[in-house]
Structure 1
Amino acid sequence: MRWNVTPNYLLRFTLSRLLVLMIGLGLALPAAAQRFSNPLSAVKPALQRKLIKEEYAEALPELNRLLQTDSLNPNYLYLRAECRMFFKEHEAALLDYNKAERFAPNDGLLLASRGAAYMQLRRFPEALTDLNQAATTHPRQPLVFLCRGVCRLYTNDLPGALLDLNKAVEFGPNEDEVWTYRCIVQMVAGRYTEAKFSSAEQIRRHPKDPYGYANRALLQLIANNTTQAKQDAEQALKLKPADEQLQLISAFVAEKSGKQAQAQQRYDELAAKATSKGWLYLERGDLHMQTGNIAGATADWQRAADLGNTEAAERISAGFQAPLAK
């Protein structure tokens, strides 16, 4: 399972998830933010609906027009940054967050969102600084702890990552992503019994979410239950057949189940579609790490790094060690 937090998978600090959740929890914004209140309330209902439905292609031009007449409005800047995050325009989003932050210094909502942008840009120290402050401001916000936990995973702070993911589950048990990523961190840490509980609980709570089955497939591989692993991988792919992460897991399970030709065909198909150098080796290295094979992980990460993949080089420099099964 890919560790990276992407707009298409896990932690999209988008309006439909973070902002609406914060409003629902009644988290007040600082009084010092004189012009920055609930960003959604600053725009007309028609635009609100587009943002909540994640219709960002239509919302972005409208926000650009609003900013032409009110270029320093922090609400508009924040909303445009969220749209830009969805389109992976992370540098541009960061510029908007920084401008908005001038009018709402130390605001938890802004800091959490900017922390997510820093993560996408691989600027982990700055991400942690923002997320630490956001966690102080909003100590029961599950998505803040989720994001910080994944950030700590990247930097090989597994104890800190586990603490954060446990808090994310405690404060947001109905969020499917918190179970997915707690399971991933538990697997990387070698806490397989705990990971089994997380995957089982995710499947129980979210039976139509493919990632619970995907994580369970990897756990079945660890236990040498290849038949069950194949069934879980197939179920995950059935729920979301176009997902390249799930296609990769299916190929990985096939390889570990002795279906070398089938696995290689799927790997070749994925490599042909990859848009970044070394993507396949980076992703497969992560799967090796989750299933306790540090040698396989390091070898694949090195192949990706040799192809110019900077994420893989970061994995190697983080110094992950073989987990101790617990």
Structure 2
Amino acid sequence: MSVPKYFELEDGDRLPRIGFGTWQAPPDVLEKAVDAALEAGYRHFDSARAYENEDALGRALNRWIGGDAAKRKELFVVTKLPPSGNRPESVEEYFEASRRDLGLDYIDLYLIHVPFAFEHVPGDLHPKNPDGSMKMDYSTDLVGVWKEVLKLKKSGRVRHVGVSNMNEEQLSRLCAVEKPACLQVEVHVLFQQKKLIAATKQLGIPIVAYSPLGSKALADVLAAKTGRNYPNLLELPTVLNIAKAHSRTPAQVLLRFLLQHGVACIPKSTDPTRIQQNLSVLDFELNKNEMQELAALDRGEDGRICDFMFFVGAEKHTEFPFKK
């Protein structure tokens, strides 16, 4: 099964199916990792205001661009409106802060990061109450925020706009205004999001998978807090057996599985060897039986890792997307 290197977006633009994730990467480590990713051939880079490392990404990208407009056009740079900016009047301020730190004239794809909102506290992207809960803004006008994000596209400072971490109902509301260019959500072999992917396929909205390898760093943090057992996707017997059969890494098998399901992936690594390996997934194919074996690993909602419960109090918000 041949997998195209790009998603063809509706305006004819191309979204690379393998991108480079930047979440949980300290700025100094990230800058070196991005240098390695550019050298390996990555051109799709995923960031967010909430990651607090856009400046490091920007430095590495601009070093590589070196003022060459043609090289800038090779890149597909993504960033996101943080929860603290989820109100119509705040979109412009937070977007410009991201664009300034990235050092770019325009952003290729700008996403609403989550549908719920934090209070706006200058200098604090994750404001908390004394008890450790988040300072929530419960007056979120999601459609209003979406309309303001669309204005960024009309201004020419953003080429495409989309959303992240939204459910079908929220997506439907936004589609009534204008269809997002893509939906970025957690997808991996234990959490395959079959219903959501089927719905977005009907709408013609590409899915971009974050944590396609399971985000072990986040899983370890959550396990320490909750006592819940989060399996290491790279050590699942089925994945290991298939990797051995193809002389591939477990990560390559996990990524190839999603690609063959029509999902784009943004794996994150800071190791140069793994960075290269994660990009090298278009030159082999999983057979029908292997795809079925991997599909059988799906745990549904129980497989979700990034449930945002680390944002204490967010589940009380009317726009919290993962209500059971």
| TM value normalised by structure 1 | 0.28
Rg: which structure is higher? 1
Give the number of the structure whose residues are more often strand, by fraction. Answer: 2
1 or 2 for the larger relative contact order (CA 8 Å, sep ≥6)? 2
More helix by share: 1
